[in-house]
Amino acid sequence: MSTPTKAPREAVIEVRGLCNRFGSQSVHENLDLDVYKGEILGVVGGSGTGKSVLLRSIVGLRRPTEGEVRVFGKDLLSLHEAERSLIERRFGVLFQKGALFSSLTVTENIALPLIEHAGLSRPDAEHLACVKLALAGLPLSAADKYPSSLSGGMVKRAALARALALDPDILFLDEPTAGLDPIGAAAFDQLILTLRDALGLSVFLVTHDLDTLYTITDRVAVLSQKRVLVAAPIAEVEDFDDPWIHEYFHGPRGRAAYEAATQRKEQ
Amino acid sequence: MEPTTITAMAGDAQLDTSSNPARLKISGQWTLVNYARLKLLTEQLAGKYDARTQIDLDDVSRLDTAGASLLVELLGSERVAQLADSATKLPAADRALLQTVYSSMRDFCVPVKAVEVNLGIQLLSRIGCSVDKLWQDTLQLLGFIGVILQTLARNFFRPKQWRITPVVAQIEQIGLNAAPIVALLTFMVGAVVAFLGATVLSNFGAGIYTVDLVAFSFLREFGVLLTAILMAGRTASSFTAQIGSMKANEEIDAIRTLGLDPMDLLVLPRVLALLIALPLLTFLAMMAGILGGAVVCVVSIGISPDMFISMLHSDIGVKNFLVGMVKAPFFAFLIAAVGCLEGFKVSGSAESVGAHTTSSVVQSIFIVILLDAVAALFFMEMGW
Ligand SMILES: Nc1ncnc2c1ncn2[C@@H]1O[C@H](COP(=O)(O)OP(=O)(O)O)[C@@H](O)[C@H]1O
Ligand SMILES: [Mg+2]
């Protein structure tokens, strides 16, 4: 785990009083959350507690029923198209199911934002796309394949490569290591950490992977009872007085991940 | 010798050949924003320095993955590996980035482009491919029709396995919901045919035969043909899209692994529903078309409704109605078969769903018209 910067922390994402309802079902009630510049924030919660909905609200894909979401100090939904697009370019989003464009090859998927936003020529963009692919750990043989012929883990990697295409300021990852082999997942963690350190990324990381939580997150936010129950460094979250959190971190898997992480640090 | 300098506002690389050994000074922002220019710069510098050249990364102010990959290409991964260890003035984070990028690019090579082929050969090969595809498609369709008939026969004797609910649901969707549009469309075409007839036939003083024209054309041809074409556009496409997106989503595979048969579950209800709905709609179309003609006759050539009915009775045998009606089940079967088959041909992507939907509409309309022409010839020769 890396130490978070101690300087006065600048929030890149501020969520205030967020409510999300689908008909009579309420998913979030008065949810508050900050994501600080340069931190890796892990977001955990049981299945169906609204982690993906929270992510969609932050990136402006979903208008919250109530409440406010400010990214870089601006409310995305109240901006004009052009301004909004400028901010959205600073996002990299990895969707839970990858959301690769099925009519484009993997390389074209990654080259698309490079051509559209960075103004690269097609050959340059495809060249750089191959670099991103290599970074995300995809073999080059996958470069010219269509998403439908990739395995689940490869889709995740290709989607990560696309999310990283523009070297974004904020990276949103929705369960990125689900479906990856453990070696791949560990490499994934290291990659995120390296990129964060080098590029000063802020990372909003939805995950169920306890190893990832222990290895790379600076803070962990627990979504439960329709709000963020606690958002703090993992050591504090572990000791939070809530049965679900206790079960989560002190269950057999939680302990194993904790021990593995401490061992790794001692080496 | 003059130092080779290509200055850039933000990112820069200068080769200073005056000192010995030469020094390559890399500075500024090596980021995506400057990518196109830096790429040019690195291409110009390539080969102008050798292993002894000293490389100075101290003034690099910003580095991202795009810039790092350019550095790896410029300097080679071994050089970068050394630098990542030795360039101590570079922030540790940037060195880690360099390390990550070079290690992932080590076994990196640019994918080879496909070889250009002569235009004439391309043309020939495309023609060949299309002909072959047409042949394969025909074979596939015939095979699929066979499988449908087989499934139909198998299920016919097992009433317990009849899936009534999906059939009824499909009939509602493709029959009942299409009734208004079918009726409206054929009503208007009926009116148009009557207008044409009234204009042309009146010249010979035979305006009264407009009634025969409308009735003959709708009972024998237009009723069933218009309905079938509408169904091809409306229903074949929706069959393809429904089954195709299930295929793309691996739902068809899921059905198979559950030990179920997609033919039973998806195809048969659709085929049966269309087999029932299309004849009913055809009847509706015939009536609406004749009604449209009748309205024009009454309004513009002054044939009274009574006269219209009595002309129908005396001139138009029920044979004509049967000739039209008997084609409906055949059209229905083929439209449903093409729609479902194209759905099964979908492979993975959303684009493929679109392509096969288009293809199913085109094919089913083509087949309907072709079959209708053949049928017209047949009935004419038989004198029916
Ligand atoms: N478009 C939608 N319409 C209705 N309900 C939705 C929609 N999207 C999500 N939900 C509901 O919101 C809840 C949270 O979903 P989600 O954020 O996907 O969960 P998770 O935390 O597992 O990512 C679930 O109960 C889901 O049924
Ligand atoms: Mg989710």
ipTM summary value: 0.70
Q: Do residue A120 and residue A249 come from a single domain?
A: no
Confidence label for B190 from pLDDT (cuts 50, 70 and 90): very high
Whether B111 has a pLDDT exceeding 50, the answer reads no
Contact between A136 and A158 under an 8 Å Cβ cutoff? The reply is yes
Please report the DSSP string for B277-344 in residue order: HHHHHHHHHHHHHHHHHHHHIIIII---HHHHHHHHHHH--HHHHHHHHHHHHHHHHHHHHHHHHHHH
Which of B37, B44, B45 lies closest to B9, judged by CA?
A: B37
Q: Do residue A181 and residue A226 come from a single domain?
A: yes
Instruction: Report the CATH number that the domain containing residue A203 is assigned in CATH.
Output: 3.40.50.300
Q: What is the pLDDT of residue B6?
A: 41
Distance A50 CA to ligand 1 centre (A): 6
Name the residue among B32, B96, B110 with its Cβ closest to that of A130: B110
Contact between A38 and A202 under an 8 Å Cβ cutoff? The reply is yes
Name the residue among B93, B107, B108 with its Cβ closest to that of A197: B93
A192-203 pLDDT per residue, tens: 888 888 888 899
Query: How far apart (Å, rounded) are the C-alpha atoms in residues A180 and A94?
Result: 14
Query: How far apart (Å, rounded) are the C-alpha atoms in residues B341 and B187?
Result: 32
Scored b (16 or more CB within 10 A) or e, B334-350 reads bbbbbbbbbbbbbbbbe
Identity at A242, one-letter amino acid code? D
B71, B80, B104, B346: best mutation site toward chain A, by most A Cβ within 10 Å?
B104
B321-360 pLDDT per residue, tens: 999 999 999 999 999 999 999 999 998 778 889 999 999 9
Looking at the 3D structure of chain A, how many domains does it have? 2
SS3 A242: coil
Q: Do residue A44 and residue A159 come from a single domain?
A: no
Query: How far apart (Å, rounded) are the C-alpha atoms in residues B186 and B166?
Result: 28
pTM summary value = 0.70
Q: Do residue A199 and residue A244 come from a single domain?
A: yes
Q: How far is B340 from chain A (nearest CA, A)?
A: 21
- Kind and range of the H or E run holding B187: helix B179-203
Point out the domain boundary residue: A116, A147, A167. A167
Residues in A whose CB is inside 8 Å of some CB of B read 102-103, 107, 114, 118-121, 124, 127-128, 130-132, 134-135, 137, 140, 143-144, 146-149, 164, 166-167, 190-191, 194-195, 197-199
- On average, the pLDDT of chain A sits at 86
Distance A95 CA to ligand 2 centre (A): 9
Report CA dihedral (B141, B147, B148, B151) to the nearest 10 degrees.
180
Residues in chain B: 384
Which of A177, A105, A148 lies closest to B249, judged by CA?
A: A148
Confidence label for B219 from pLDDT (cuts 50, 70 and 90): very high
Give the lowest-confidence range in A113-127, B94-108, B150-164, B174-188. B94-108
Query: How far apart (Å, rounded) are the C-alpha atoms in residues A160 and A158?
Result: 5
In B178-224, at which residue ranges do the beta strands (DSSP E only) sit? none
Q: What is the pLDDT of residue B141?
A: 94
CA B237 to chain centre: 9
Scored b (16 or more CB within 10 A) or e, A71-89 reads bbeeebeebeeeebeebbe
Residue carrying the six token digits 């898997």 = A253
Query: How far apart (Å, rounded) are the C-alpha atoms in residues B68 and B351?
Result: 35
A90, A128, A131: best mutation site toward chain B, by most B Cβ within 10 Å?
A131
- Residue A13 counted as domain residue: no
Q: Where are the domains of chain B?
A: 3-105, 136-382
* DSSP tag of B30: E
- On average, the pLDDT of chain B sits at 87
Pairing relation of β-strands A170-174 and A11-22? unpaired
Q: Do residue A108 and residue A235 come from a single domain?
A: no
And the tokens for A175?
């369960």
Residues in B whose CB is inside 8 Å of some CB of A read 31-33, 35-36, 39, 63-66, 69, 92-94, 96-97, 99-101, 104-105, 107-111, 248, 347-352
Which of B231, B319, B220 lies closest to B275, judged by CA?
A: B231
- Kind and range of the H or E run holding A44: strand A40-44
Whether residue A134 and residue B104 make contact (CB cut-off 8 A), yes or no, is yes
Query: How far apart (Å, rounded) are the C-alpha atoms in residues A231 and A233?
Result: 7
* DSSP tag of A61: S
- Residue A95 counted as domain residue: no
Q: Do residue A211 and residue A83 come from a single domain?
A: yes
Q: State the residue range of the domain holding A148.
A: 104-167
Domain B3-105 -> CATH class: alpha beta
Query: How far apart (Å, rounded) are the C-alpha atoms in residues A91 and A164?
Result: 9
And the tokens for B337?
């078969």
Q: How far is A138 from chain B (nearest CA, A)?
A: 9
- Residue A226 counted as domain residue: yes
Whether residue A167 and residue B347 make contact (CB cut-off 8 A), yes or no, is no
Q: Do residue A129 and residue A178 come from a single domain?
A: no
Q: Do residue A157 and residue A138 come from a single domain?
A: yes
Name the residue among A143, A148, A164 with its Cβ closest to that of B347: A148
And the tokens for B89?
């003035």
- Residue A16 counted as domain residue: no
Compute the average pLDDT of residues A32-55.
91
And the tokens for B129?
């491919």
Whether residue B349 and residue A191 make contact (CB cut-off 8 A), yes or no, is no
SS3 B108: coil
- Kind and range of the H or E run holding B273: helix B268-296
Q: Within chain B, how many helices (H) and strands (E) appear?
A: 16, 4
And the tokens for A21?
């309802």
Q: What is the pLDDT of residue B364?
A: 95
**B184: number of Cβ within 10 Å:** 12
Q: Do residue A53 and residue A131 come from a single domain?
A: no
SS3 A48: coil
In chain B, residues with a C-beta closer than 8 Å to the C-beta of A190 are: 100
Q: What lines the ligand 1 site, CB under 6 Å?
A: A 22, 27, 45, 47-53
Name the residue among B97, B349, B352 with its Cβ closest to that of A194: B97
* DSSP tag of B218: I
Q: Do residue A214 and residue A150 come from a single domain?
A: no
Q: What is the pLDDT of residue A113?
A: 85
For residue A218, give Cα distances in angstroms to A193, A196, A261. 10, 11, 14
Whether residue B31 and residue A197 make contact (CB cut-off 8 A), yes or no, is no
- Residue A44 counted as domain residue: yes
And the tokens for B115?
């070889």
Whether residue B65 and residue A107 make contact (CB cut-off 8 A), yes or no, is no
